[in-house]
Amino acid sequence: MERLEHRACCGGWQDVYRHDSSVLNCTMNFAVYLPPQAAQQKLPVLYWLSGLTCSEQNFITKAGAQRYAAEHGVILVVPDTSPRGDAVADADAYDLGKGAGFYLNATQAPWDRHYRMYDYVVEELPALVEAHFPVTAARAISGHSMGGHGALVIALKNPGRYRSVSAFAPIVAPSRVPWGEKAFTAYLGEDRAAWQAYDASELIGAAQERLPLLIDQGDADEFLDDQLKPQLLQAAADAAVYPLTLRLQRGYDHSYYFIASFIGEHIAHHARALHT
């Protein structure tokens, strides 16, 4: 593991590391924010999953999350959104290939050799973090757009692993929107039954635990009606009696201005669960 960046921030340190991933068969970057309390004690971890076209850099440079992580004593871990490198399969589109891993384990060639972001986020990255940083066993997970989809799916599929989950403008029903249909067809094949394993609106009905779930969605989001459709998750949560807080925020779009406006509330949401 090689440290690429080391910057003082809000009394702590914003670092970026590179390592060889055996799960993804490539070299990966991830960011870690260590708040000032980490110098004296172990702290819980909030994993953040970013959206389409992003890397680990978008969140750490645009969200302003470090000040809230320092306030609440929470370590932030931010992976990249897909495998990277010259040998990694790609597509001539922003919503497929590099930068668009969709946090699943691909089963179709040529994607299956590298695109296993689900296993990377759930198993390999936490094992690395827990071996090298002052963290407790308490974890939470959050994300934006495609990353919100990843956070919801990963939390719902791994009972007992996370204390809380939240999302900004998540793709809640990828099996029923163009972004998800395109990615799932490429990565998982034509069998729509296989897609349900990575669809939060399908998984929530069989959830084995009831995590605190907070979702913020801007009502001026250009992708709201055709790609995000939060009402589909709300209906599934209502049917399953799952405690979902879905907030429609007036005037906000899909950008990091939106995330920066409410990230403090999300970190506070997670801190309440992580420090219990």
- The H or E element that residue 48 is part of is strand 43-49
254 is catalytic: yes
20 is catalytic: no
Identify the active-site residue in 254, 266, 269, 270: 254
Q: Is 203 helix (H, G, I), strand (E, B) or coil?
A: helix
Identify the active-site residue in 15, 80, 216, 221: 221
221 is catalytic: yes
Is residue 268 a contact partner of residue 68, using CB atoms and an 8 Å limit?
yes
User: Is the previous residue joined to 110 through a cis bond, with omega within 30 degrees of 0?
Assistant: yes
Is residue 269 classed exposed, middle or buried when 0-12, 13-18 and 19+ CB atoms within 10 A define those classes? buried
In this structure, what token pair is assigned to residue 265?
């509330």
Q: Tokens 């010259």, residue?
A: 86
Q: Is 30 helix (H, G, I), strand (E, B) or coil?
A: strand
Query: What is the bridge-based pairing of β-strands 2-9 and 165-168?
Result: unpaired
Identify the active-site residue in 21, 82, 142, 145: 145
Q: Which residues are catalytic?
A: 145, 221, 254
